A and B are shown apart, each in its own frame.
Chain A
Amino acid sequence: MSLREFGLHEVFFLLMAARWTVLLALVTFVGGGLLGLVIAALRVSPTAILRHVASGYIGFMQSTPILIQLFMVYYGSSFIGLRPDPWPAAAITFCLNAGAFFGEIFRGSIESVPKGQWEASKALGLRYLATLRLVIIPQAMRLSLPPTVGFMVQIVKTTSVASLIGLVELSRTGTMINTVTFQPVLVFGTVAAIYFALCWPLSLLGQHLERRLIGGRERRVAL
């Protein structure tokens, strides 16, 4: 026998918890995006050592599970003499992680700007950062928009991992309500529906932007 029935009150409770998921995703998007710009700039920098540092960073972030990165930051905070706190740990980890992925996205779009643009800027006497800011980034931005929007979906989903260090957001609230109502189909169905409502519009937007960038559609042939 359950302690409590899953009703409208619980749905409301989950919706309120989704605020923290959205907030964490926004923090990650902004922080990770800014870090990604730095990483991308390092990754295409003319100095070899900066390029190596950036690619090592990306390699580490993409080759270890985000859960382990989160645990490292969470328990590592005692290393610098702080008490482990889920919110800063999650925000920092997700920003660091998203920074690596954004760095790769931005690098890809920077590198797909034709080389002649760099040469022309050099001929005009622009320095490295000025070339990036005035010539390359405005053109790269258009290319990086679809994968950036696509990665936002990833960010929203990844925030659920923060529940495993005890941050009370949508997933954590879901498991808490499941413990008292024991109606997992309804509870996790609702939780999934809320995540879906957050992610699906972004997915559709990403697909739309990508299609617009590529242009044209394939025709289908019946077998």
Chain B
Amino acid sequence: MNYVFQFGPIFQRMDELLYGALRTMELTAASVAAGLVIGILGALGRSFGPRWLSRIISAYVEIIRNTPLLIQLYFVFFSLPLFGLRLSSDQAAILALSIHLGAYATEILRAGVESIPAGQIEAAKSLGLSRRQIIRHVILVPAARAVYPALTSQFILQLLGTSIVSAIAAEELTAVANNMAMQTFRNFEIYIVIAVIYFVLVQGCSLFFRLLSLVMFRWKM
């Protein structure tokens, strides 16, 4: 037990860590936004689209959900340049994270859509609501309420998952920490500090989602 903790070199560079935390939140926000769009389209396509579309979407969801994010990231980062699409590591990270979240969001939203009792849709039809109205008022909004907890905890998993993109040296909190570790050799201390920062970010996000649900649904969680 002759390890001497030295947090000094880390706290001197707190601004770099804050920058990393900001980048992590940006990556999370961008991929959550894109993933949510994929999820909404995917869930609608899977539940109401033609058979071939529904098949393709299921295959996408199953492939993504049964392979590691790290491999999806490597695939995007290393393969796309061969097809003439040169992405920076940040762009590849956002793309891979969005594709990843999109599959989970599709699955969660589909479960939400299917949680609407068939009788509700039949009732809406017999009241003469249009297809568009049914999708919006009878399916989407009540389904959004039903899936909110699962969806927001998936977003938090996404925030934690962004640490993986440090593997391709995309700029975010873990990558900043890795660089700092290489320069100062205070690895253990650095990762303790980083763990605390992630913890604060996650707690902050879950508080935000709880408050948002109060505003959106006027509904206690």
Where the two chains meet, the residues of A that have a C-beta atom closer than 8 Å to any C-beta of B are 60, 62-69, 71-72, 75-76, 78-81, 153, 157-158, 160-161, 163-164, 171, 174-175, 178, 184-185, 188-189, 191-192, 195-196, 199-200, 203, 218-221, 223
A66 touches B160 (CB 8 A): yes
Q: List 23 A-B contacts (CB under 8 A).
A: A60-B199, A63-B198, A64-B198, A65-B161, A65-B162, A65-B198, A68-B195, A71-B177, A72-B195, A75-B188, A75-B191, A76-B191, A78-B188, A80-B1, A160-B71, A184-B75, A184-B78, A185-B75, A195-B68, A200-B66, A221-B121, A223-B48, A223-B121
CA distance A160 to B2 in the complex (A): 33
Where the two chains meet, the residues of B that have a C-beta atom closer than 8 Å to any C-beta of A are 1-3, 48, 62-63, 65-72, 74-75, 78-79, 82, 114, 118, 121-122, 125, 131, 134-135, 160-164, 166-167, 174, 177, 181, 187-188, 191-192, 194-195, 198-199, 202-203
CA distance A139 to B108 in the complex (A): 28
CB-CB nearest 7 A-B residue pairs: A184-B78, A65-B163, A75-B187, A160-B68, A199-B66, A63-B202, A157-B68
CA distance A220 to B110 in the complex (A): 12
Asked if A69 meets B195 with Cβ closer than 8 Å, knowing A79-B188, A200-B62, the reply is yes
A164 touches B167 (CB 8 A): yes
Main secondary structure of the interface of A (DSSP, over half): helix
B67 touches A195 (CB 8 A): yes
Asked if A195 meets B195 with Cβ closer than 8 Å, knowing A64-B160, A71-B187, the reply is no
A203 touches B62 (CB 8 A): yes
A161 touches B195 (CB 8 A): no
Asked if A171 meets B66 with Cβ closer than 8 Å, knowing A64-B198, A185-B79, the reply is no
Whole-angstrom distance between the Cβ of A124 and the nearest chain B Cβ: 37
Asked if A184 meets B70 with Cβ closer than 8 Å, knowing A65-B174, A196-B63, A223-B48, the reply is no
CA distance A127 to B75 in the complex (A): 54
A192 touches B75 (CB 8 A): yes
B79 touches A184 (CB 8 A): yes
CA distance A64 to B163 in the complex (A): 10
Residues of chain B within 8 A of A60, CB atoms compared: 195, 199
Residues of chain A within 8 A of B167, CB atoms compared: 164
Q: Give the residue of A67, A164, A188 whose beta carbon is less than 8 angstroms from that of B78.
A: A188
Whole-angstrom distance between the Cβ of B174 and the nearest chain A Cβ: 6
Residues of chain B within 8 A of A81, CB atoms compared: 1-3
B71 touches A191 (CB 8 A): yes
Residue of A with least CB distance to B194 = A68
Residue of A with least CB distance to B62 = A200
